Structure 1
Amino acid sequence: MSYLQMIIVTGASFFITLILGPIVIPILQRLKVGQSIRDEGPKSHMSKSGTPTMGGIMMVLAVLITTLTAGLSGEQMKDLYVMLFATISFGLIGFIDDFIKVVLKRNLGLRAYQKLIGQVLIALILAIYFLKTSSYKANIYIPFIDTSIDFGILYIPFIVLFVVGTTNSVNLTDGLDGLASGVTLIIAAFFSLVAVKMGMPSVAIFCGALTGACLGFLRFNAYPAKVFMGDTGSMALGGAIAAVSILTNLTMIIPIVGGIYFIEALSVIIQVVSFKLTGKRVFKMSPLHHHFELCGWRETKVVIVFWLTTFVLCMIGLFGIRI
């Protein structure tokens, strides 16, 4: 797998997403699957009400079409199927949640415990599969110190927590036009470069397709957004990134390169714990991107700063991996 091949795959996925946009968005508009905006959210977001959601379908389709026509075979297809399984299955949970909210008009969607049960079951399948098939076994690579730790019997619960945590963190990041898609684009590009260096063509092709899909989706999702990815897209992206990091044995690099995911989720945890224990809020609003909005930052400024932060973190991440 060469860098040129990866670029071709990325470009193909990008153009497929661009083609899907004018097809999928009008369909979503006709189905009236418009985003509802929380009353307690930033007032500037009220104008987004009614914008079509569930646009993540475009990215999932682009990745699916691109990877399945990329010419992989044998063992490479097994890894590809696992990544697609994680992407589609988590995306399906998001799709059901979106469908209940915007089509059946039940604002809460799936209950929290229902989503969690589904997420844990999928994560458990992935954890058992990787433990049985991965050459790394239960060893987890630790970046910067270039060593691995054998997690032994703790490997499965660790992977389950990691997968569930990652997918929900990406979901929390999806709150501003172009934020989650842009951050994930950069992280997917990081993993595609790493996969080429590691000699993992299936991962490189998948991440290249994911990069192109996110880039194409930004054409419609950047401010002012014509479509939102919904939980369909954010959950699918979270599942994809989680599966890729496990396949490459780089789960411990996610808190670094995915630092934005991490602080978004952490801000919610801090806010909830603080309010329950003291009755006071640490942030003006959580997740963190809303805090900056309420501090007076324009939405586009928050998004660009978070993109640049992710780029810098990915550069740091490259130094932490010895390939």
Structure 2
Amino acid sequence: MLYYLFYKQLIAYAHFFNIFYYITFRAMAAAATGFLLSMVFSHYFIPFLKKKQIGQTIREDGPKRHLQKAGTPTIGGVIIWFGFIISVLLWARLDVNWVWIILFTAISFAFIGFLDDFLKIKRGKGNGLKARTKFYLQIFFASVVSVLIFVVYSRYSNCPGCFYMPFFKNLVFNMGLFYILFSIFVIVGASNAVNLTDGLDGLATGPSLTTIFTLAIFAYVSGNLVLATYLRLPYVFGSGEVTVVLSALFGSCLAFLWYNCYPAEVFMGDTGSLGLGAIFGVIAIIVKEEVVLVIAGGIFVIETISVILQVASFKTTGERIFKMAPIHHHFELKNWPESKVIIRFWIMSILLSLVALTALKLR
């Protein structure tokens, strides 16, 4: 919005407004705006949640220390989406299809999460949407988004179904229409992976910030023809604006972490985690860096794999591999303090993001 007001309309009157043309400036402004809006909103929204007794229900089979968190305000994901959406509308170019696709993804998956959180609170037993219903809704919205991405790509590229392997110069697979099914898998998988990780104070928010930062760099490079060509990355028309969108998300998540860090004053709930994961999946598909997402979001992947292995092992052998899954609970039950589990997972996430960034040069 501000791009059209200041750059398109006022550039003729003052050259200063040319600054609104640059992605780097708008990205920094979007991050600051998202942060400030979410901080201000939190100041009023958290007391509102407390007043209405919209609190978290705690599973009884988990670590006993978590029982003291019962009643902590939840649905805090609204804080993230408030700052994020307004910031994107203010600073991103709204004539770029990717911006609207990402906004649709955030709103649709946040809606699924909100329904789940609302039912948990209403019933008071931690029973939200049925797993099958939630999964079908995720599949539906992921299918819509995947088709939209494929259609938009078809306008700008002669290979909308191409899958690029990082670390290799010319290793590309043309999946054709099967790329739509692959995209659905990535979006739904990423959404649930972040959701599984959101079990400790700030545990999902920290790795989300490092993942956002990594994807933002790839989006910026992919949207610059000179840089993309030099670094042998697939050039994606308009993906520079995705950097602005991710910056807005970074600022909003940073503000949320202010209140979500240990000991948490508010939880994001499925309202936040499902939308965050879905956005990561969509952006990875847009910039053709699905493998980079697996690396940068390695914490989410590890958490998901721990659940899969635990369930598979128990069903086939009757034995559990971990004391409890997801794996962060395993370390808690090994008497690691919660703050230590969180910070060590954050450290691992930073290291994984650095590894992912090497894919920029190692081609």
Residue matched to 2:333 = 294
Shift of 1:5: 3.3
Residue matched to 2:27 = 6
Residue matched to 2:81 = 60
Residue matched to 1:105 = 124
| CA deviation map 1:163-182 (0-9, x unaligned) | 11110000000000001111
Q: What is the rounded CA distance, in whole Å, between the counterparts of 1:2 and 1:166 in structure 2?
A: 27
1:275-314 equivalence runs, <5 A: 275-314=314-353
- Aligned residue identity for 2:161: A
Shift of 1:18: 0.8
1:1-323 equivalence runs, <5 A: 1-74=22-95, 76=96, 78-134=97-153, 135=157, 136-146=159-169, 147-199=171-223, 200-322=239-361
Tell me which of the two structures has the higher relative contact order, counting C-alpha pairs closer than 8 angstroms and 6 or more residues apart: 1
Runs in 1 of length 4+ with deviation above 3 angstroms? 1-5
Give secondary structure in 2 for the equivalent of 1:140: strand
| Pair 251,71 (structure 1): closer, same or farther in 2 beyond 3 Å | closer
| CA deviation map 1:237-288 (0-9, x unaligned) | 1111111111111112121111101010000000001001111100010001
Q: What is the rounded CA distance, in whole Å, between the counterparts of 2:308 and 2:81 in structure 1?
A: 29
Q: What is the rounded CA distance, in whole Å, between the counterparts of 1:71 and 1:53 in structure 2?
A: 29
Q: TM-score, normalised by structure 2?
A: 0.86
Q: TM-score, normalised by structure 1?
A: 0.96
Give secondary structure in 2 for the equivalent of 1:243: helix
Contact in 2 for aligned 1:83/1:243 (Cα 8 Å)? yes
Shift of 1:127: 1.5
Q: What is the rounded CA distance, in whole Å, between the counterparts of 2:173 and 2:339 in structure 1?
A: 41
Give secondary structure in 2 for the equivalent of 1:69: helix
Q: Report % sequence identity.
A: 39
Shift of 1:236: 1.1
Contact in 2 for aligned 1:123/1:164 (Cα 8 Å)? yes
Give secondary structure in 2 for the equivalent of 1:215: helix
| CA deviation map 1:129-182 (0-9, x unaligned) | 122211350001111113321112321221111111110000000000001111
Contact in 2 for aligned 1:100/1:106 (Cα 8 Å)? no
Q: What is the rounded CA distance, in whole Å, between the counterparts of 2:101 and 2:23 in structure 1?
A: 22
Contact in 2 for aligned 1:123/1:163 (Cα 8 Å)? yes
Q: What is the rounded CA distance, in whole Å, between the counterparts of 1:201 and 1:73 in structure 2?
A: 12
Shift of 1:2: 4.3
Shift of 1:319: 1.0
Shift of 1:71: 4.9
Contact in 2 for aligned 1:6/1:192 (Cα 8 Å)? no
Q: What is the rounded CA distance, in whole Å, between the counterparts of 1:41 and 1:102 in structure 2?
A: 19
Contact in 2 for aligned 1:10/1:208 (Cα 8 Å)? yes
Q: What is the rounded CA distance, in whole Å, between the counterparts of 2:333 and 2:123 in structure 1?
A: 32
Which has the larger displacement, 58-67 or 9-18? 9-18
Contact in 2 for aligned 1:172/1:287 (Cα 8 Å)? yes
Q: What is the rounded CA distance, in whole Å, between the counterparts of 1:148 and 1:30 in structure 2?
A: 54
Q: What is the rounded CA distance, in whole Å, between the counterparts of 1:87 and 1:321 in structure 2?
A: 27
Contact in 1 for aligned 2:114/2:271 (Cα 8 Å)? yes
Q: What is the rounded CA distance, in whole Å, between the counterparts of 1:15 and 1:103 in structure 2?
A: 31
- Aligned residue identity for 1:17: S
